A = this chain, B = another copy of it.
Amino acid sequence: MPNKPIAISDAESRVMEVLWQQAPQASEDIVAALLAPTGWHEKTVRTLLNRLLGKGAVSAQKDGRRYLYSPLLQREQWQQQESRSLLDRVFGGKVAPLLAHFSQHEKLSTKDVAELRKLIDAIEQKRR
């Protein structure tokens, strides 16, 4: 099995989010995109980029004097890893308790509920 999960930290995921929205991007742009929401220093962002490179979560192609970065780790894949981790760590691997939990504790908008219902219909549809 080829792909062992790439673990990225919280701060690193913020950088990935920027790349998931658009790629490739130069570090300058990534720095700019993160400045407002996080207040991070340029140096900080570059450190995170390098760590992500080291982890194989992003790739870099040289473009003149700078690099252009692209995500290698896909957002979906990361979401899945994180979800599974929560499920296993916190809910004993069982989906129903998690969902029950959300229905009790998270305020679901009417739209959420409608969407949920559609999802379930679709799932049941596919089953039979």
Interface, chain A (partner B; CB < 8 A): 10, 13, 76, 78-80, 82-84, 86-87, 89-91, 94-96, 98-103, 105-106, 108-113, 115-117, 119-120, 122-124, 127
For A80, the chain B residues whose CB sits under 8 A away are 101, 105
A83 vs B107: C-alpha distance when bound (angstroms): 13
CB distance from A15 to the nearest CB of B (A): 13
Q: Are A90 and B96 in contact, CB atoms less than 8 angstroms apart?
A: no
30 CB < 8 A contacts A-B: A13-B89, A13-B90, A76-B101, A79-B90, A79-B91, A80-B101, A82-B90, A83-B98, A83-B101, A83-B102, A83-B105, A83-B106, A84-B106, A86-B86, A94-B112, A95-B112, A96-B112, A96-B115, A96-B116, A99-B102, A99-B115, A100-B115, A100-B119, A103-B119, A103-B122, A103-B123, A113-B124, A113-B127, A117-B120, A117-B124
Smallest CB gap from A115: residue in B = B96
Q: Which of B13, B90, B127 is the one whose CB lies under 8 Å from A83?
A: B90
For A91, the chain B residues whose CB sits under 8 A away are 79
For A102, the chain B residues whose CB sits under 8 A away are 83, 95, 98-99
